[in-house]
Amino acid sequence: MKIAFIGLGNMGGPMAANLAGAGHEVVGVDPITAPEGLPMAASAADACAGADVAITMLPNGAILRAVANEIIPALPKGAVFIDCSTVDVDSARAVAQQAKAAGLGMLDAPVSGGIKGAAEGTLTFMIGGDAGTLETTKGLFDIMGQKAVHCGAAGAGQAAKICNNMILGITMLGTCEAFAMADKLGLDRQAMFDVVSTSSGYSWSMNAYCPAPGVGPTSPADNDYKPGFAAELMLKDLGLSQDAARACDADTPMGHLANEIYAKFIEEGGRGVDFSGVLPWLAGRANSAP
């Protein structure tokens, strides 16, 4: 396939490289980054001329809408527009309607798996849109990831991503709080991990991405908390969760509190730190309960 890939940062760059490595004709577009060996177009519209598929990986809904205004008229009828950004549900649905009106297939397909998953082609895609459109592009998802879950109509992929990452933010905070308290109770971190990872406290945050260095599988904690998933990206996703909660009148007190805690962490030095870096931050704090 001829693929226009717009947004070649930490996630988009390796995703595009994997598609090119599998034999697809990939043309990239990015205002800052130009991955080595990937042909670049002067504009998103130029990249989309004659393309079978356009894939975007962008920072937010406003930028997605702006890029959509440029590329939807440039794509040939019958082409497919896949947005892998994490954005608000309203933006995903608005762009899907715009693409459909132009005779294009459209999928919102945010990802889970982080920079490592993008590089290794092991991402999970949460997909909203037409099942037939997904079937025609399934081979691309198989290259970029290990799983693609069809979640429903337009916007459902974003809804799934927002809910998933709200859970992730909440469970990571709970895991970090428990380690910080265990330290002050004199409990060895390895003993803590050995118990919790095989007991009712089991979670992905503990078992696969442990925030304590030297404990469990290798994670950003073992690399001085250099980001696999930066705290400000977690804050962005928690903010989206709270926007969605207000829009659909859902009560999410834990999500609301997690959003506030990550905002405070970033304000107090967490910018550019992995979201699991909350552990050393909490470990240095005194009890704040009323």
How far, in Å, CA of 156 to CA of 162, rounded? Answer: 10
| Active-site option among 2, 116, 138, 161 | 161
The number of C-alpha atoms within 13 Å of 112 and in the hemisphere containing its C-beta is 19
Q: Phi and psi of 18, rounded to 5°?
A: -65, -40
Beta bridge mates, 26: 3
3-class DSSP string for 144-204: HEEEEEEEECCCHHHHHHHHHHHHHHHHHHHHHHHHHHHHHCCCCHHHHHHHHCCCCCCCH
147 is catalytic: no
How far, in Å, CA of 152 to CA of 253, rounded? Answer: 26
User: Which of 154, 157, 5 is CA-nearest to residue 67?
Assistant: 5
For the record, the structure tokens of 3 come out as 């693929």
Q: What is the DSSP letter of 209?
A: S
User: Which of 203, 196, 198 is CA-nearest to residue 173?
Assistant: 203
Contact status, residue 112 vs residue 124, Cβ threshold 8 Å = yes
Query: Which residues belong to the active site?
Result: 161
